[in-house]
A = this chain, B = another copy of it.
Amino acid sequence: MFAGAQLSLYPMTDGFVGTILEALEALDPWRDRLRVETDDISTLIVGPPEVLFPALRDLYVRAAATRHHVVLRATISRGCPGEPDDPACVTGALADPDTPLATRIAEAKAIVAEAPQTGEEAAAQFSLYVMGNGDHMAEIYGCIDFLKESGTFDRSKNFCTRVKGDAGPVFATISEAFCRFGPPEGHVTLDLTVSANSPSTKR
């Protein structure tokens, strides 16, 4: 399997370059388990989901701690048929598709409930895409049932779902959505936006 993310940080401040470079230091503890490549639009990180999501969380928390309005955007993918298998992406995080949806939902909720707190709030929205044959909407609706019971559910919007709360459970929720729904051998992607310190929420 091949898994990874194209991520970008958008600090809404004149000092955005320094804010981005400082926040990227939060990836350092993960670098031995990630391949990282940067260009002018995004940074590619390649690795298994159990590394990708904590790394994204730590990056977000570091950027949010600047108190600037900062947005983390990521396109996260696993199992893209156009990408070669990569031993660095071997994962034990994906659910067994023979496990009934109700069981997978219960397991996902337990993980979110145990997620460590970070002290930073996160307002997130994301879309989960399950490609290929099979009943992809059944997996999406199963995932939505999980989200509504996750403790981080905010609301459904057109094309995406909002979650909120401490960044720890929020990123755990998103990781569970990505790993536990859609077949493990399938092509699954997640389009993620996480917003910190928005002035629109302080009115």
Contacts and interface: CB of A to CB of B under 8 A. Distances in A.
Interface of A: 2, 4-6, 8, 10-14, 16-17, 39-42, 44, 46, 69, 71, 73, 75, 77, 80-83, 123-125, 127, 129-133, 136-137, 140, 157-160, 162, 189, 191, 193, 195, 198-201
A195 B41 contact: yes
A129 B124 CA distance: 21
A198 B131 contact: no
Contact of A10 (B2, B10, B17, B189): B10
Contact of A12 (B2, B5, B12, B44): B12
B14 A75 contact: no
Given A136-B131, A195-B40, A158 B4 contact: yes
A126 to B, nearest CB: 9
